[in-house]
Structure 1
Amino acid sequence: MSPVGTLRALHHGRAPGDPLILPGPWDAASARVFEEAGSPALATPSAGIALSLGYEDEQVPPTEMFAAVARIVRSVSVPVSADIEAGYGLAPKELVERLLETGAVGCNLEDSYKGPGGPHTLRDPAEQADFLAEVRGAAGGSLFVNARVDTFLAGVPEPGAAIERARLYMAAGADCVYPILAPPEQLPALRAGIDGPLNAVVRAGGPSPQELGKLGATRVTFGPGLLHRSLGALRDIADELV
């Protein structure tokens, strides 16, 4: 099976409480650690890569982001999905070409934008669906597209708004939807309203991956959370040395 076929298959036929767990590597070394631990696939976090490269989140030049993703892909043998934010303003064909050149077989695409230090502004859902359809048309079956739904991030608490967007994005060709920062107690409603794989994020102090799976998540990711945990351990080591 091809890497993208493997990634796609990992999202289907999962039992409740057994979501696909996708660690988020921020560089080649962390990617190797996750693969050696048995992860069947990986999903890069844009915020984690930004921090590792010395940038604020959403401020990494696309050339540097694609290069970082390529280093991660090159270092492992499992499928890699890449968080490419809102697509960097690139036309769908160029975006797909540049992503596939890295060796990644999946991507996150978010439906909001924000300026430096500003709030997240939701993109018109019909426009985002058209964009996703163009990405799907350019990629064919060569990319697993995870469509991020940013309603909760943008301060819209009703699950209906996320479900409406998710349905549009699935109809446009997305393989999975990701209502980022959805409260865990709303996952059952999201699961009931969305016909397709559902991504949830693991947050410090929140439910475990298995608990999120029981609530309805098909897959769980961590954003930059694993990098922050690693930095905490590194600070402890540094304190011992100073």
Structure 2
Amino acid sequence: MTTRIGVVTFPGSLDDRDAQRAIRLAGAEPVALWHADHDLQGVDAIVLPGGFSYGDYLRPGAIASVSPIMAEVVDAANKGMPVLGICNGFQVLVESHLLPGGLIRNAHQQFIRRDQRLVVENAGTAWTNAFEQGEEIVIPLKNGDGGFIASDEDLKRLEGEGLVAFRYRGVNPNGSLDDIAGLTNARGNVVGLMPHPEHAVEPGFGPDMPDAMRSGVDGLRFFESAISALAARV
């Protein structure tokens, strides 16, 4: 039976089609979900894509977090459904309180785009099980509000409980505390990160790598991880 992974489109989403393509390349069926609906269409997992939902008014992700479909997403996540938030999707997860902390304007006050080195800090989640703990990967990054912040108490808990999923390596592009690039919840089904794995899924279109330009496909394993995690439940 084919795994079905929903991709939510909000007004202002930019990378929903890219996420759908990544899901298809990984071997699952992408399902388009609309922000104004309350129907998850029976999907097995959900991706909240990058972009500028609702124009990033108030705060990035703030309005999207109270859109109709997010009531269903939050409920499904709390019941264990795998949910991945990418860039703006990560901001939506934080604003929805599915992940802690906040994301603010980049420390240098400029939008940044680069092929970003990351370290996999937690390879035990529904979206990272295809990686090795401590593995270095390269994923494209593009954001203006990617600076992760949290209280000292939350930072201690995140570090102590192994809830940091990814950390920036080499360059901290946005001033994120503790070089945090992505988080997981304690259950491991909800993961959010600022870099864009859906832009590193196909040779010739991904980030530059030592063996060849645009050959990076590290992002594909995010979606393959979810498929494997769901298959293991059967």
For the superposition of Structure 1 and Structure 2, which TM-score range results when normalised by the shorter chain? 0.3 to 0.5
TM-score (norm 2): 0.33
Larger helix proportion of the pair: 1
Higher-Rg structure is 1
TM-score (norm 1): 0.32
Larger strand proportion of the pair: 2
Q: Which has the higher contact order (CA 8 A, sep 6+)?
A: 1
